[in-house]
Chains A and B, each alone.
Chain A
């Protein structure tokens, strides 16, 4: 679990079955386990109206656990980018009564939330559960480039190369934490880089 922080930093909960006509789950890696655990609390037949899209990640584990739930659809995607066109269409065609559940890494939850917001779904209606890595998506406030899977503090911008303080300030619209130059006032000050977002 992430430590208590400032108000703009997202807070994640525990997935719980919601009343609804259709259920869309988006998960990566260990997020599958959050869905499987929630299934134990779901009414019979809950997954008959559920679609699960899952990004297994490198080790490819956990897909079996999702198959066992027998959802109406189970789609495996190699990456979030590859999932985007399908996800956009699913959300664009969605009707009232669709419930959205996100589980897995912060990067996955943030990016899926971003697509859902663009489709007009209110963020407070979306169920989220964080599992796995605390690696952050970070936007460099200077060059606007996004650096994925940031695990260190400070971190180097993958685009402009500035050394950035990874803040807790978070934008749902950008789906990223804010990175601000940590040694702007004196570039010769180079603080040690520590691995803190694991």
Chain B
């Protein structure tokens, strides 16, 4: 059975919603009633049926709408997709990975057939049927990275590995939590993470880099990250901060449930076979508070996490202005009873 793709928007009238099945599969990021940075990296292996880990590249009911939103962002600001000249081969690596994974996980929606270098790619949800020569950029309407990431949910950063470091040398970034590819492109791992508070002092990035530079082909890894977003807006870029920032001042005790969204990034890390680069998909999942609190365990836990978050982190994540209203709203759903261990709902 195929996925029923929702018609919905991530801007203007904000009609984005999760179906009940998608609420249950939401990747809730807190395994206990508190949060602090950790190198929470684990092997990216297939998880339970019905979870976002059922396939290593997840396609869900928001696929078509997310791809439409990406096209709108790129039309306004083509700098969201950039690739330095030495990164084209890595772009082909990524195209292969995403075509293979999407065709493997969702054969009713995607088909890849190969005859030597002659490839045919069918993407039924987006109405695409293209035949091209693998490795020959002139046979695609865009560069290989842009072509396939216009057809894949999530942001994608391709990192070049050299001098014992990782360099942000290519990316498609339209659903980001307030960082700029255009500014950060060409930076190394420590430089592009420079603005993150607290984590440098804890040695997080030194350990994370060591782990990432040792990732092997066929053995991807993953971690979860999170923030919050007002309205289900995918494009919370710094470029447009002056347009979406005012949303944060619109939260009132009456509209928390509808306006405030938990934003979870499923980040995965894959070694690329030809270029020896690493691709870093950052898949964004949104859920509004009204949907999230249908799972009582998540409501209680989120209340405790947000209430007890260090101010520095709350500030970095941009929660400061509406945190009191959110905590007050969530507190009514927290009877103080214990929460069960682990991420999942009860």
Task: Check B185 against A7 for contact (C-beta < 8 Å).
Answer: no
- Complexed CA–CA distance, A21 and B242 (Å): 51
Task: Check A167 against B195 for contact (C-beta < 8 Å).
Answer: yes
Task: Check B242 against A6 for contact (C-beta < 8 Å).
Answer: no
CB distance from B164 to the nearest CB of A (A): 12
- Judge whether B44 is part of the interface by a CB distance below 8 angstroms: no
Kindly specify which of A53-61, A67-75, A102-110, A171-179 makes contact with the partner chain. Answer: A171-179
List of B residues within 8 angstroms of A184 by Cβ: 241-242, 245-246
* Binary CB contact string for chain A from 142 to 180 against chain B (1 if under 8 A, 0 otherwise): 101000000000000000001000011101111000101
Instruction: Using C-beta atoms within 8 Å of the partner chain, give the interface range for chain A.
Output: 20 to 34
- Complexed CA–CA distance, A180 and B190 (Å): 21
* Known contacts A142-B239, A180-B238, A185-B321, A171 near B184 by CB under 8 Å: yes
Task: Check A185 against B182 for contact (C-beta < 8 Å).
Answer: no
Query: Interface of chain A, helix or strand or loop or mixed?
Result: loop
- Judge whether A90 is part of the interface by a CB distance below 8 angstroms: no
* Known contacts A171-B183, A173-B186, A186 near B238 by CB under 8 Å: no
Task: Check A144 against B79 for contact (C-beta < 8 Å).
Answer: yes
- Judge whether A196 is part of the interface by a CB distance below 8 angstroms: no
Task: Check B241 against A169 for contact (C-beta < 8 Å).
Answer: no
CB distance from A37 to the nearest CB of B (A): 30
Task: Check B187 against A181 for contact (C-beta < 8 Å).
Answer: no
- Judge whether B194 is part of the interface by a CB distance below 8 angstroms: yes
Task: Check B242 against A8 for contact (C-beta < 8 Å).
Answer: no
Instruction: Using C-beta atoms within 8 Å of the partner chain, give the interface range for chain B.
Output: 20 to 34
CB distance from A174 to the nearest CB of B (A): 7
Within 8 A of A (CB), among B234-274: 238-242, 245-246, 248-249
Task: Check A141 against B239 for contact (C-beta < 8 Å).
Answer: yes
Task: Check B192 against A8 for contact (C-beta < 8 Å).
Answer: yes
- Complexed CA–CA distance, A150 and B341 (Å): 51
Task: Check A6 against B245 for contact (C-beta < 8 Å).
Answer: no
Task: Check A141 against B180 for contact (C-beta < 8 Å).
Answer: yes
- Complexed CA–CA distance, A162 and B238 (Å): 13
- Judge whether B202 is part of the interface by a CB distance below 8 angstroms: no
Q: Which residue of B183, B190, B200, B238 has the most chain A CB atoms within 10 A of its CB atom?
A: B183
Within 8 A of A (CB), among B159-217: 180, 182-187, 190-195, 200
List of B residues within 8 angstroms of A174 by Cβ: 183
Task: Check B190 against A7 for contact (C-beta < 8 Å).
Answer: yes
Closest to A5 in B: B194
CB distance from B83 to the nearest CB of A (A): 14
Within 8 A of B (CB), among A106-150: 139, 141-142, 144
Task: Check B183 against A169 for contact (C-beta < 8 Å).
Answer: yes
- Judge whether A88 is part of the interface by a CB distance below 8 angstroms: no
Task: Check A186 against B239 for contact (C-beta < 8 Å).
Answer: no
List of A residues within 8 angstroms of B239 by Cβ: 141-142
- Complexed CA–CA distance, A9 and B195 (Å): 10
Task: Check A178 against B321 for contact (C-beta < 8 Å).
Answer: no
- Complexed CA–CA distance, A167 and B238 (Å): 13
- Complexed CA–CA distance, A168 and B239 (Å): 17
Task: Check B194 against A7 for contact (C-beta < 8 Å).
Answer: yes
Partner of B242, one of A7, A142, A178: A142
List of A residues within 8 angstroms of B245 by Cβ: 181, 184-185
- Complexed CA–CA distance, A171 and B191 (Å): 9
Task: Check B191 against A8 for contact (C-beta < 8 Å).
Answer: yes
- Complexed CA–CA distance, A162 and B79 (Å): 20
- Complexed CA–CA distance, A7 and B199 (Å): 12
- Complexed CA–CA distance, A185 and B194 (Å): 23
Q: Which residue of B193, B249, B321 has the most chain A CB atoms within 10 A of its CB atom?
A: B249
A-B contact pairs, 8 of them (CB 8 A): A7-B191, A8-B192, A168-B195, A171-B183, A171-B186, A173-B186, A178-B183, A186-B249
Taking Cβ atoms with an 8 Å cutoff, the residues of A that contact B are 6-9, 139, 141-142, 144, 162, 167-169, 171-174, 178, 180-181, 184-187
Instruction: Supply 6 further A-B pairs (C-beta < 8 A) apart from A142-B239, A144-B182, A180-B241.
Output: A7-B191, A141-B180, A167-B195, A171-B186, A181-B245, A186-B249
6 closest Cβ contacts across the A-B interface? A184-B245, A8-B194, A6-B194, A7-B194, A8-B191, A173-B186
